[in-house]
Amino acid sequence: MDIFRFEQPIYLYLLLLIPVLAFIHLYFAGKRKKALDEFGNNELISDLMPNVSFKRPTIKFYFLLLALIVLIIGIAGPQYGTKLQTVKRKGIELIIALDVSNSMMAQDIEPNRLERAKRAISRLVDKLHNDRVGFIVFAGDAFVQLPITTDYASAKMFLNSVSTDAVGRQGTAIGSAIYKGMDSFTKQEDVNRAIIVITDGENHDDDPIKAAADAYEKGIRVYTVGMGLPKGAPIPVKGGRANDFMKDRNGNVVISKLDEASLQQIAITGNGAYIPANNIRNGINNLVDELGELEKSELEAKVYENYKDQFQWFLGFALLLIIIEFLILERKNRRLKHINIFEVKDNKINK
């Protein structure tokens, strides 16, 4: 079975320009129509300007817009993988558990805890080599966001889609995230494994210390990354105004604080390390170095090889659309406009 991918998917963000350009065109087309309506009767204007077409500029514009869409897709480098191969690499297995509870939207670190955490994970993935990685998201429950894989491009794509809507039940079940991570590794034996829990540490639902101890008994190290500051910050209300924050039952603004003591204890119990958010760049580098010291095992992975570029088809189609747009005149053709095939048929019938 073939697999489709983009070599440079970042260029697909240019597609966001399409609705903007369409809106601008509709706006000015509406203004032009309004100006013509104010100028005089539409039928009279058509008689005065018999060769002017009011539809053709719009048709030309949408041909160009379609060409731009196809061109952007071509630039993104569409490819088909045509051969599935099993390769062996030496590495470790890593599960990253990301807290997506509402408290992760607090802005005591810029732009907020969740976005800073996603940047840290992206930086960590960029530094991995031949290791398997998987994502778990958790709040009141824990779910597998990405099964363990060596496809780092897919991992970063899944990471971009993570939000506080990923888990329906609120809370911070760190223990559940650790247990879910333990169940998410492959069945391969003699592989070094680690779980990295990224959270503000405000656990409300279970016993993460016991979970870390159980993980360590199975040879899985548990690392923690603390997102936030000990002084804490209010939690913005989703969709609310700039200064609209969550409140408790008594109407007081809820302040979410980083629980460093708990996260340090989880890391100690899991024979890992704790990384504070205020030094996360150096912390991630140190974490990568520490993970790199773990003995690498031979891992099997199925990957698609022999990717074939398909961009030329898209560029060719875009060029065809541009040529068609060029051939469509903005004014009516003086010779062709007098041709009326229906009138010819009527004459034949009358004869």
pLDDT tens digits for range 242-274:
789 999 889 999 999 999 999 999 999 999 999
Q: Alpha helices, DSSP H only, in the chain?
A: 17-39, 42-48, 56-75, 113-126, 152-160, 174-183, 208-217, 260-269, 280-293, 311-327, 341-350
Element (H, E) at 253: none
Ranked by mean pLDDT, the top range of 29-38, 211-220, 295-304 is 211-220
Q: Place 205 in a pLDDT band, splitting at 50, 70 and 90.
A: confident
Cβ burial of 116 (10 Å; 0-12, 13-18, 19+) is: buried
Q: Place 344 in a pLDDT band, splitting at 50, 70 and 90.
A: very low
Please tell me whether residue 223 adopts helix, strand or coil conformation: strand
pLDDT in tens, 267-314: 999 999 999 877 777 778 888 888 888 878 777 665 555 667 888 999
Q: Which is higher by pLDDT, 34 or 200? A: 200
Q: Is the peptide bond before 208 cis (omega within 30 degrees of 0)?
A: no
| pLDDT score recorded for residue 29 | 82
Q: Alpha helices, DSSP H only, in 207-310?
A: 208-217, 260-269, 280-293
Give the lowest-confidence range in 5-9, 140-144, 321-325: 5-9
- Taking alpha carbons only, the member of 303, 290, 280 closest to residue 130 is 303
How far apart CA 258 and CA 232 sit, in angstroms, is 6
How far apart CA 8 and CA 320 sit, in angstroms, is 23
Q: Place 330 in a pLDDT band, splitting at 50, 70 and 90.
A: low
Q: Which is higher by pLDDT, 205 or 231? A: 231
pLDDT in tens, 142-201: 999 999 998 898 899 889 989 999 888 888 899 999 999 999 999 988 899 999 999 998
Q: What angle do CA 128, 156, 108 make, to 5 degrees?
A: 95
What mean pLDDT do residues 27-31 have? Answer: 84
| pLDDT score recorded for residue 5 | 78
Distances (CA, A) of 19 to 65, 68, 140: 10, 12, 37
What mean pLDDT do residues 189-214 have? Answer: 90
CATH number listed for the domain at residues 84-303 = 3.40.50.410
pLDDT value at 30 more than 90: no
